[in-house]
Amino acid sequence: MTMRTKTTATDEKKEPSGIFFCNCLRKCVAYLLAPADPSNLGVFRIVFGILMMIDIPQERGMSSIFNNWQPDKCHFPMFNFLQPASVEWMHVIYVIMFLGAIGILLGLFYRLSCIMFMIPYWYIFLLDKAIWNNHSYLYGLVSIMLLLTDCHHYWSLDGLRNPKIRNAHVPKWNYAIFRFQIFLVYFFAGIKKLDRDWMTGYSMTGLSSKWVFDPFRSFLSDDAIDLFLVHISGLFYDLFVGFFLIFERTRVMGILFSLAFHGMNSQMFSIGMFSYTMMASLTLFCSYNWPKKILSRLPHWMGFATPLLDEAAPSDSCLYSPEANEEKLDNQTVEKKEKKNTGRKPNKTDQVTVSHKILLALFGCYVGIQCFLPYSHFITKGYNGWTEGLYGYSWDMMVHSWSTQHVRIKVVDGVTGNDVFIRPGAYIGGGRRRHSRWNSHPDMIKQYMTCLAEKIKEREELNITKPAIYLDVWRSLNRRFQQRFLDPNIDVVTAPWSPFAQTTWVLPLLSELSPWREKLEAIQREQLNTSVGNFTDIVFVADFPGLKLENFVSEELNTSITVLHGTVKIETNNENFTLGKNEEMKLPANDTHVVYTVSETPACWMYVYLNTTLMKNETLKQWITDPGTRPSARRKEEWQRKSMIEKCREFAYEKYMVFSVTFWNSYYAIGHLAFGLEYPEEDEDVEIQDGSVPQETEANSHISSSQEDSAASGSDGSVQSQNSDTNQDANQTEASILQKSRHEEKETLPNSKKEL
């Protein structure tokens, strides 16, 4: 008796869906392994190698290794076991990376050159989170993609050494991985710009003053340029330009928009080779053989300098259709041409090999990681502060603009109870970015305080064996109120921190006060229109219930405080005053007052500073009322009067000096390691203006109270913020209200070494 199996409708649907999935997977594999011309990738490899050779001495810091990587400084590695090598060995690491860039450019020992560039690059990148940015992260990703792909199949010295790969096909996934990554940079940047602060124009301000917007200034105000051209247009550009580049009909328009966009960025920001790298990457979206089409139009007498212009030869890394394998190879013309290109009779593969599967698996892993990593902050909660994660791999380019009003580091001896105040940035080497980034990320704050505690123990004159460090940081995000970033009553040295748990001692951003920004701008405009507006600074402050703010007012300032929301109690001259909403009070000069937040909700107030010194100094007064008379304005005018030849000569000389210093520093460092070569003695110290923060020496590190109070003011006598930082590295000036008391005992830590 035969048993009949009942077939259900569900079973009938499963088989076709499985077949459909297999067919789709097979077609996807066939497309990714299909052959493509290598010339497009070859040109990108050459351009990227050139750009990295320029980038390494400058933005990678090869010309300032001693300043950046002194072993006795505090650093911010991604993993604490990573530590910088000695200065001499850091020179060796940089030289290896530079040689790798040269090898990538020439296509010489290509895989080895990629490894020589990639490993030192990622080592230096992971060694210091404080200098991360998106394009530095992108360069590291490009180095990985170069290693995985066959960019040396065209216009390379390896092609001369090995005719088998010369002008040989590359699989299409080589192009797909680059196109995917560049598309992701644009698209994720657009997704991140859907942030409310960006869409309302608070992320980046002041860019309208740049000369690149001069053509729009005749019919748009500065505020309109900032909102519509910078923010709204930037949002739509990032969201859609990737799609414009993918589709052939819109590709030309996408390339033109991108050239204009990156050209403007190169003039507005100091971002090294990023703009030019992105311009070079646009060609990857063009046809695979566009370089051959252009080179074929050159005169015949230039043929000696051009690579092969013939059709690409078969390659073992590609998958060919059965029809391609059945082509007759007895055609003498075709066979001679292919033998000329490959050095052997072509063997077209029509079966997926193990190497194909491994490379496709790596391709899939890379795509998955890059899609997931920018949104992985729910796992790495310890790196989250007011923003999610570290700045660099999230593609949230220029979405967050910071200004730092005040940083105070108080060290309490756990044995005696005595306290000293440490200069913020002590034992941090390198440039301005290192000094400004650490105080906005809890992981870097923890690393710095731990390192600082060890340095304090080593200072015998301080006589502190068990330091407890309390940090008070006042910051503003995207033009909000200045507020505390972390709890000032927590000893950061012993405070818990984990990369996978939320940091409990970071205070939340007072986002409920964000609607106040329009009113704050109106108050500033109203004050600026007064007769003393040019000599007045306004600072808006918010604080949490139960906390207090100690603020010293310099003698040259005529200061008042006005409560905008909540209730505060002010203690000054041994008297207490309670102020509610819209109540105002004059504050005594040359004295410290304390503001207590006594309301149940956060309190907001504003300081209005009238600088009487500026009003009395005729020179400074003229600089403020007529900015064109300032020395900086005169220098700018002198630069504009110079001819293009003079500007190019000065630019070339500046770059020559950077590369010259890089070469000689590396020469003596490696010579010292290998042969004991001594460094030459200089009669005078020579400094390179690379934007680094000047380091104090033993002679000037201990600043007196009066000196430090005046140092908090600007060179022209105006009150300025002690630190400022934005993610786009734009300078900002704020009124400094959170100065230390003149009567507090101060102790600053000098650097243990002078500049070499």
Q: Please calculate the CA angle 19-20-22 and round it to the nearest 5 degrees.
A: 65
Question: Is residue 578 within a helix (H) or strand (E), and if so which, with residue range?
Answer: strand 575-579
Q: What is the DSSP-derived secondary structure letter of residue 307?
A: -
State the burial class of residue 731 (Cβ atoms within 10 Å of its Cβ: 0-12, 13-18, 19+): exposed
Using CA atoms, how far apart are residues 668 and 686, in angstroms rounded to an integer?
16
- What are the tokens at 187? 């698209």
Tell me if residue 446 is catalytic: no
Using CA atoms, how far apart are residues 365 and 684, in angstroms rounded to an integer?
54
State the burial class of residue 417 (Cβ atoms within 10 Å of its Cβ: 0-12, 13-18, 19+): exposed
- Least Cα distance to 722 among 482, 455, 383, 493 occurs for 482
Using CA atoms, how far apart are residues 20 and 466, in angstroms rounded to an integer?
68
Q: Which amino acid would we find at residue 149?
A: T
Using CA atoms, how far apart are residues 136 and 391, in angstroms rounded to an integer?
11
State the DSSP string of 605-644: EEEEEEEHHHHH-HHHHHHHH-GGGSHHHHHHHHHHHS-H
CA 135, 140, 144, 146 torsion: positive or negative? positive
Using CA atoms, how far apart are residues 476 and 562, in angstroms rounded to an integer?
19
Q: Where are the beta strands (DSSP E) in 451-556?
A: 467-477, 483-484, 536-543, 548-553
Asked if residues 343 and 163 have their Cβ atoms less than 8 Å apart, the reply is yes
Q: What is the DSSP-derived secondary structure letter of residue 230?
A: I
CA 265, 266, 268, 274 torsion: positive or negative? positive
Q: What is the DSSP-derived secondary structure letter of residue 280?
A: H
Which is catalytic among the residues 129, 172, 192, 193?
193
The pair phi, psi for residue 338, each rounded to 5°, is -70, -35
Using CA atoms, how far apart are residues 413 and 468, in angstroms rounded to an integer?
6
Sequence-separated contacts (24+) of 521-524 with Cβ below 8 Å:
521/479, 523/606
Using CA atoms, how far apart are residues 527 and 593, in angstroms rounded to an integer?
24
Active site residues: 193
